[in-house]
């Protein structure tokens, strides 16, 4: 009976979520201690308790505001994937396209998105459109870079094998090239989705009257630091949940990849 209990607690200790959760609690404790020991005034860093109270009082409002931010993030992310993957395919498939498009793409990435975001408000007005575009612009590049890497990393012998079977371009693509590129593409998608959250918030900073970004700006303007910290926590949660969903999809799509094999290769 006791050994059963011991094993249950052992399992609990070994489960994947307990370690980051423990670290999180430790961080909150350290935060609280720092504020107390150094007597930091609440208008600079609010103590955790105040943030918890802000959650309690304004949780409903924060969750409501999280919806447009999440929508904009997802919109931008889906556009990143829809455009990024085919463009990566073209760049990897053709030297000509690569020589024309790739340098321009890299060049465009060096333009600070935060600086051009107000332009989108001028062009597309207040509301969803500038947020989605801003999220798309931030999320797009990692998908392309990872996709190009994935499509190019095909073993030359594998390429010869496919050619020796006289596979059509479509066959080669669906049977070999695309599955080979998927692990790299997923790596890019994971970076992209977290950047898309940043993009959506930047969009909300410059031209929106809803969303977490808007709440952040308003609360810092009113010196409501606990609300602002609560909004930051919500933002982090959006990122983590979206990342986790992509991770789950990856696990289901490419269970064969070396990075996923631990729970799959029981017979190896």
Partner 1 sequence: MAHLRVIPSHEPKSEASAPRNMIEIRNLAKTYRTRGGDVPSLRPINLDITDGEFVAVVGPSGCGKSTLLKLVAGLIPPTEGEVQIGGVAVREPPDDVGIVFQSPVLLPWRSVLRNVMMPVEVRRLDRESHLTRARKLLSMAGLEDFQNKYPWQLSGGMQQRAAICRALVHDPKIVLMDEPFGALDAMTRERMNLELQRIHHETGKTILLITHSIPEAVFLADRVVVMSERPGAIAAIYDVTLPRPRNLDVMGHPTFIELTQRIRGHFYARGHLD
Task: Name the residues that contact partner 1, by CB under 8 A.
Answer: 155, 157-158, 160-167, 171, 175-176, 179, 254, 256-258, 261, 265, 267-268
In the complex with partner 1, the residue whose CB is nearer, 4 or 95, is: 95
Asked if 76 and 196 count as a contact pair (C-beta separation under 8 A), the reply is yes
> Least distance to partner 1 from the beta carbon of 42, Å?
55
In the complex with partner 1, the residue whose CB is nearer, 14 or 267, is: 267
In the complex with partner 1, the residue whose CB is nearer, 39 or 268, is: 268
Asked if 99 and 105 count as a contact pair (C-beta separation under 8 A), the reply is no
How far apart CA 176 and CA 222 sit, in angstroms, is 56
> Least distance to partner 1 from the beta carbon of 87, Å?
24
> Least distance to partner 1 from the beta carbon of 164, Å?
5
In the complex with partner 1, the residue whose CB is nearer, 97 or 167, is: 167
In the complex with partner 1, the residue whose CB is nearer, 144 or 172, is: 172
Tokens (6 digits) for 196: 């898309």
Asked if 91 and 237 count as a contact pair (C-beta separation under 8 A), the reply is no
> Least distance to partner 1 from the beta carbon of 37, Å?
53
> DSSP characters for 137-195?
HHHHHHHHHHHHHHHHT--HHHHHHHHHTT--HHHHIIIIIHHHHHHHHHHHHHHHHHH
> Least distance to partner 1 from the beta carbon of 265, Å?
6
């Amino acid at each position: 009976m006791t050994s059963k209990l011991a094993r249950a607690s052992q399992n609990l200790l070994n489960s994947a979520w307990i370690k980051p959760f423990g670290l999180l609690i430790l961080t909150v404790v350290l935060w609280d201690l720092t504020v107390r020991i150094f007597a930091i005034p609440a208008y600079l860093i609010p103590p955790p308790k105040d943030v918890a109270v802000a959650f309690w009082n304004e949780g409903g409002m924060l969750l409501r505001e999280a919806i447009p931010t999440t929508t904009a993030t997802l919109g931008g992310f889906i556009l990143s994937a829809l455009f990024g993957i085919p463009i990566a395919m073209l760049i990897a498939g053709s030297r000509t396209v690569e020589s024309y498009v790739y340098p321009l793409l890299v060049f465009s990435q060096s333009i600070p998105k935060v600086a051009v975001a107000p332009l989108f408000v001028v062009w597309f007005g207040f509301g969803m459109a500038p947020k989605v575009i801003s999220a798309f612009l931030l999320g797009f590049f990692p998908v392309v870079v990872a996709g190009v890497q994935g499509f190019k990393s095909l073993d030359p012998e594998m390429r010869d094998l496919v050619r020796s079977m006289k596979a059509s371009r479509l066959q080669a693509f669906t049977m070999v090239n695309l599955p080979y590129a998927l692990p790299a593409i997923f790596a890019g998608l994971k970076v992209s989705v977290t950047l898309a959250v940043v993009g959506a918030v930047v969009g909300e900073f410059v031209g929106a009257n809803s969303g977490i970004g808007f709440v952040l700006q308003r609360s810092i303007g009113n010196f409501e630091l606990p609300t602002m910290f609560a909004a930051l926590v919500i933002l982090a949660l959006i990122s983590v949940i979206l990342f986790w969903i992509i991770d789950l999809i990856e696990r289901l799509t490419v269970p064969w990849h070396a990075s996923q094999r631990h729970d799959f290769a029981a017979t190896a």
